[in-house]
Structure 1
Amino acid sequence: MATYRVLVSDPISEKGVDALRTAPEIQVDVNTGLKPDELLAIIGDYHGLVVRSQTKVTPEVFAAAKNLKAIGRAGVGVDNIDRNAATDHGVVVMNTPSGNTISTAEHAFTLMLSLARNIPQAHATVIAGKWDRKSFEGVEMNGKRLAILGMGRIGTEFAKRAQAFGMHVVAYDPFLTAARAQGLKVELAETADLALAGADVVTLHIPLTDETNHILNKARLSSMNKGALVVNCARGGLVDEAAAKELLDSGHLAGIALDVYEVEPPPADHPLFAAKKAVFTPHLGASTAEAQENVGIEVAYQLKDFLVSGEIRNAVNMPNLDAKTLESVGPYLNLATALGKLLAKIGPGQVDALRVSYLGPVSELDTQLVTRTVLTGYLSGAHHEAQVNLVNAPAVAKALGLQITESTVAIATNWTELIEVSAVKGGETFTVAGTFFGNAPRIVHILGHNVETNTSGQFLFVENDDRPGVVGLLGSSLGTAGVNIANMSLSRNKSLSRAVTVIEVDSEPPVSLLETLRATPGILRVLSFGL
């Protein structure tokens, strides 16, 4: 019997649907064209959802989707998915950025050339029976300064084609390094303003966010050379269409080519439709047979691998965890969870910050996911109202005002490898740490005491005055209550005259025993918990 149910609510290629069905753990239902109320009525039954751009995944959908674990978007843009609601509900959102890369890059490049050479206008006159060779003088792309905003996969492919046409490429992307720009043979601009100043052509390949909305405003468009061309195959809203119309009318801009619009579909009286030099297409960037098939197959495998094996690829709201990363950091995740939960059990409440430090081979890995796992363990162990998982843990921490940082251990230790987790409250710090004995994760430090115990099981934690007889009392008390000891670790701090005992037991001690121990002179704290 299938473990997971996946709803395909927008059309994807049959090969994509077939790829999902290859997993015996997954039952696939294809139900497209659902109205919002119809989706709300059934979404609670599903663990996975596959969409394109038609299905709107709103906060109301997430509230109804009690079992939903992941959404796969067959395409790049996730504007139709409320990412904040997804994160709050612990749902991974994955897109398919590579499936339509070539298709979109080629379409944007075609729009640029069509705009430069007046192809649509000339075509219209020829089929109208005219032979007007004088009205459609174009411009060459050779030697022109091209500004590319966004140097991801699509922007990079556009740059390659532009360079083949002899264009000088200037690129702006907040994540593009100087070394990468040099490798791509493009000029790196530190800001969008610098990229656009003096540009002859601009093409956009960035997502639509609060920061990028109207990134091509009147001021930036005005900074381009007179006679400049604008191409947008990315997202409607990146171009201030009213400002573009004004600059086209004034003659500063020579033309505009749009595949996406602020309102889709655009109204019949859209002001830019009156522009003499313009090219418009109805959101066709990914509309090739190859791209449609590629994104359908890609999203299917991503969703299948997440549900079946836990791999995360192309997620937009958490770190990726592909098979290679899972293999390298996987052994550390159970230890990270245990340390987070342990600190939540024995540390104070309402801490100000959580600090995760790494020593040895683990510090050379990408520890972002390990740190997030520590946080998840800590929050779940602290019994917060929210259902916490790897996706929403940072959002829950932010809502609580809990800061989290990571660093490398800079102090001398007895261990060649160590993960240290500290909770900071006021001027006090409470620390636990763990390492590996061979391949076995072990907890080796609790609140200033060196111990050695397992990372899972039922535990009794006792803090007491360092005096004779306490350990014997603990053993006899547990024996009388019928609680078997599986493992015991003792540690003492001579300077404080304090000792701790960590006892792994086979069953949870009765409440009456815990109350008796807490009332015993010399015993300062008794905690019973599972990890």
Structure 2
Amino acid sequence: MATKRILVSDPISEKGVALLADHPELEVDVNTGLAPEELLKIIPQYDGLIVRSQTTATAEVIEAATKLKAIGRAGVGVDNIDRDAATNNGVVVMNTPTGNTISTAEHAFSLLLSLARHIPQAHGSILAGRWDRKKYQGTEVNGKRLAVIGMGRIGAEFAKRAQAFGMTVVAYDPFLSAARAEALKVELAETVDQALTGADCVTLHVPMTPDTKHIINADRIELLNKGALIVNCARGGLIDEVALAAAVKSGRIGGAALDVFENEPPTLDQAVFDSDERIIFTPHLGASTNEAQENVGIQVAEQLRDFFTQGAITNAVNMPSLDAKTAEEIGDYLELATSLGKLLSKLAPHQPDSLRVTYYGAVSELETSAITRTALTGYLTASRQEGQVNLVNCAAIAKSMGLQITESTSAEEADFTELIKAEIVKGDEVYTVAGTFVGSAPRIVNIEGQAVETAIKGNFIIVKNDDRPGIVGTVGTVLADKEINISNMSLSRNKDLGYAVNVIQLDSAADESVINLLTEAPGILAVTAVEL
């Protein structure tokens, strides 16, 4: 085997470097602090690149790296890597999403305890020459009700620590099943509002998406018990900082701890910095422990070692684990499966028991496991957390949430020569979407058991309404008033149950105001905006 050269351009664990150097077929160069022009000059020599957050692997760098086959990110975020350029140039991008789990959970819990006992403020008073014992009387967390919003790895570790301190834990996560919640010994909330209602403490562990932006706002703050404490070590923007500052000033909220901010680094004119000591801050330190940095350094080294010595791909964020022959056979189906999964994420009940995918006709004769994983990836990606969901890690993420995945083929006759049906099952509820090919074009042909026909890409609203005259006109009027053009419409009626499903493709996305207007219209049962 020819020697492969790996450049470590940001500092990582010495054990990680040694792990790579121990393999004679790998040559490792540690060259940190490179200026962009210096990196551009030397990158053509290397087959692999290891970075943290300092090095930016731009499209220019990747295109100059004519030998590059893999980039390893020692950490979760890959914003400093141009993934499109990497994919286009055949470069695998791998991250290390599990290395900082304990560190972040511990930091978040430390902030909760610091809030409860006013530790930073009391420390500052001593240094200022004061002895403010009465001013900084704290509260116990024992017996308090904790809302954990997001029960991925970090949320689950936080919950364990809270339970050890005698807290009652209620958790919300759209992918957390009842069985998994029972195993974690947490109360399962079906909505964010349900989790927050009556909570004494809140901790956030969700990604920053359009659905989670300002997930804690003025209205939801009112659901908390007076004097509640809020911790955010996840992503800036999850909390409406202006609403939080106002609630702290008024005494509605007892205090908050922020490790992340809407703008980083923050500026002191932001509202949260005028809070009379009751909001405490750290500069994005969640993953900043010796152990976490050691872990991610070792993990990224192991991943590049295995890639170059065994051909293994672990935690890839930009490509599936497929050989060339299989990828060619099923390539046309992957895009369809992704859209089916994303549709289910928006339309089906949250916190399901299982996702099942059934194949009919010609597609059932192919290697369908990657198609199923693609549907699962689409389902999880819509609002998933803690790193990129992909074909490699989607099954592990589903398992951690207690979501069972089943795949089957059927000999039953379908309405099409081939069909992919994806279903979410929650108790006795089953929510179905299905797709096929009309000619060579992938199409969605079933939503909630209703026959439709629509494209798999674009901006859509899906309207469920009473089956009576005038509804389509009402929808059209609202869209016209907002200057949103309809590019396609597919209407399906269920005469027996008295409702219709209308899938409307739009030239531009419908914002929240449009959805609210439609939802409030007479005869409209539900409206969901979906971008595929």
TM bin (shorter chain): 0.5 to 0.7
Specify whether residues 342 and 132 from structure 1 end up closer, same or farther in structure 2 by C-alpha distance, changes over 3 A only: closer
- 1:217 corresponds in structure 2 to 217
> Is the contact between residue 330 and residue 371 of structure 2 (CA under 8 Å) also seen in structure 1?
no
Please list the CA deviations of residues 438-465 of structure 1 after superposition, one character each: whole Å capped at 9, or x if unmatched: xxxxxxxxxxxxxxxxxxxxxxxxxxxx
Specify whether residues 207 and 42 from structure 1 end up closer, same or farther in structure 2 by C-alpha distance, changes over 3 A only: farther
* Deviation, structure 1 residue 367: 6.0
Distance across 2 between alignment mates of 1:205 and 1:86: 29
> Is the contact between residue 200 and residue 225 of structure 1 (CA under 8 Å) also seen in structure 2?
yes
Specify whether residues 307 and 238 from structure 1 end up closer, same or farther in structure 2 by C-alpha distance, changes over 3 A only: farther
> Is the contact between residue 357 and residue 407 of structure 1 (CA under 8 Å) also seen in structure 2?
no
Specify whether residues 46 and 263 from structure 1 end up closer, same or farther in structure 2 by C-alpha distance, changes over 3 A only: farther
Distance across 2 between alignment mates of 1:37 and 1:357: 49
> Is the contact between residue 336 and residue 370 of structure 1 (CA under 8 Å) also seen in structure 2?
no
Specify whether residues 205 and 237 from structure 1 end up closer, same or farther in structure 2 by C-alpha distance, changes over 3 A only: same
Structure 2 segments unaligned to the other structure (5+ residues): 334-359, 377-389, 392-405, 413-419, 421-435, 443-532
* Deviation, structure 1 residue 201: 1.5
Greater Rg over alpha carbons, structure: 1
* Deviation, structure 1 residue 184: 0.3
- 2:185 corresponds in structure 1 to 185
- 1:282 corresponds in structure 2 to 283
* Deviation, structure 1 residue 283: 2.0
- 2:383 corresponds in structure 1 to none
- 2:49 corresponds in structure 1 to 49
Say which of 336, 344, 365 aligns to 2:326: 336
Specify whether residues 121 and 60 from structure 1 end up closer, same or farther in structure 2 by C-alpha distance, changes over 3 A only: same
Distance across 2 between alignment mates of 1:217 and 1:44: 49
1:283-362 equivalences under 5 Å are 283-319=284-320, 333=323, 336=326, 339=329, 357-358=363-364
* Deviation, structure 1 residue 14: 0.8
Q: Is 1:148–2:148 an aligned residue pair? A: yes
Distance across 1 between alignment mates of 2:88 and 2:308: 19
- 1:244 corresponds in structure 2 to 244
> Is the contact between residue 75 and residue 295 of structure 1 (CA under 8 Å) also seen in structure 2?
yes
Please list the CA deviations of residues 201-226 of structure 1 after superposition, one character each: whole Å capped at 9, or x if unmatched: 22122233344333333333343222
Distance across 2 between alignment mates of 1:59 and 1:221: 43
* Deviation, structure 1 residue 40: 3.7
Distance across 2 between alignment mates of 1:425 and 1:210: 32
Structure 1 letter corresponding to 2:118: N
> Is the contact between residue 256 and residue 278 of structure 1 (CA under 8 Å) also seen in structure 2?
yes
Distance across 1 between alignment mates of 2:267 and 2:176: 37
* Deviation, structure 1 residue 194: 2.9
* Deviation, structure 1 residue 122: 0.8
* Deviation, structure 1 residue 251: 2.2
Structure 2 letter corresponding to 1:142: N
* Deviation, structure 1 residue 311: 1.7
Distance across 1 between alignment mates of 2:332 and 2:257: 58
Q: Is 1:21–2:27 an aligned residue pair? A: no
Secondary structure, counterpart of 2:294 in structure 1: helix
* Deviation, structure 1 residue 233: 1.5
1:483-502 equivalences under 5 Å are none
Please list the CA deviations of residues 6-54 of structure 1 after superposition, one character each: whole Å capped at 9, or x if unmatched: 2222211111111122233332222222333443444444332222222
> Is the contact between residue 361 and residue 411 of structure 2 (CA under 8 Å) also seen in structure 1?
no
* Deviation, structure 1 residue 158: 0.5
Q: Is 1:30–2:36 an aligned residue pair? A: no
Specify whether residues 310 and 279 from structure 1 end up closer, same or farther in structure 2 by C-alpha distance, changes over 3 A only: same
* Deviation, structure 1 residue 318: 4.3
- TM-score w.r.t. the length of structure 2 is 0.61
Distance across 1 between alignment mates of 2:238 and 2:331: 44
Specify whether residues 98 and 427 from structure 1 end up closer, same or farther in structure 2 by C-alpha distance, changes over 3 A only: closer
Structure 2 letter corresponding to 1:101: T
Structure 1 letter corresponding to 2:293: Q
* Deviation, structure 1 residue 228: 1.8
- 1:447 corresponds in structure 2 to none
Structure 2 letter corresponding to 1:281: T
1:322-471 equivalences under 5 Å are 333=323, 336=326, 339=329, 357-358=363-364, 368=372, 408-411=408-411, 424=437, 426=439
Q: Is 1:231–2:227 an aligned residue pair? A: no
- TM-score w.r.t. the length of structure 1 is 0.61
- 2:9 corresponds in structure 1 to 9
- 1:173 corresponds in structure 2 to 173
* Deviation, structure 1 residue 357: 3.3
- 2:262 corresponds in structure 1 to 262
Please list the CA deviations of residues 224-283 of structure 1 after superposition, one character each: whole Å capped at 9, or x if unmatched: 222121111222232232332222223222211122222333234443233221221222
Secondary structure, counterpart of 2:248 in structure 1: helix
Distance across 2 between alignment mates of 1:369 and 1:3: 34
- 1:110 corresponds in structure 2 to 110
- 1:81 corresponds in structure 2 to 81
> Is the contact between residue 356 and residue 371 of structure 1 (CA under 8 Å) also seen in structure 2?
no
Distance across 2 between alignment mates of 1:150 and 1:115: 21
> Is the contact between residue 69 and residue 92 of structure 1 (CA under 8 Å) also seen in structure 2?
yes
> Is the contact between residue 245 and residue 274 of structure 2 (CA under 8 Å) also seen in structure 1?
no
> Is the contact between residue 336 and residue 371 of structure 1 (CA under 8 Å) also seen in structure 2?
no
Specify whether residues 262 and 183 from structure 1 end up closer, same or farther in structure 2 by C-alpha distance, changes over 3 A only: same
Distance across 2 between alignment mates of 1:341 and 1:248: 53
* Deviation, structure 1 residue 341: 9.8
Aligned-pair RMSD on alpha carbons? 3.8
Structure 1 segments unaligned to the other structure (5+ residues): 322-329, 344-353, 373-389, 392-405, 413-419, 430-531
Secondary structure, counterpart of 1:357 in structure 2: helix
Secondary structure, counterpart of 1:223 in structure 2: coil
Specify whether residues 303 and 428 from structure 1 end up closer, same or farther in structure 2 by C-alpha distance, changes over 3 A only: closer
- 2:197 corresponds in structure 1 to 197
* Deviation, structure 1 residue 408: 4.3
Distance across 1 between alignment mates of 2:103 and 2:374: 36
Distance across 2 between alignment mates of 1:85 and 1:212: 28
Structure 1 letter corresponding to 2:159: A
Structure 2 letter corresponding to 1:125: S
Structure 1 letter corresponding to 2:439: G
> Is the contact between residue 47 and residue 69 of structure 1 (CA under 8 Å) also seen in structure 2?
yes
Specify whether residues 307 and 246 from structure 1 end up closer, same or farther in structure 2 by C-alpha distance, changes over 3 A only: farther
Structure 1 letter corresponding to 2:286: G
Secondary structure, counterpart of 1:261 in structure 2: coil
Structure 1 letter corresponding to 2:303: Q
Structure 2 letter corresponding to 1:296: G
> Is the contact between residue 372 and residue 407 of structure 2 (CA under 8 Å) also seen in structure 1?
no
Secondary structure, counterpart of 2:72 in structure 1: strand
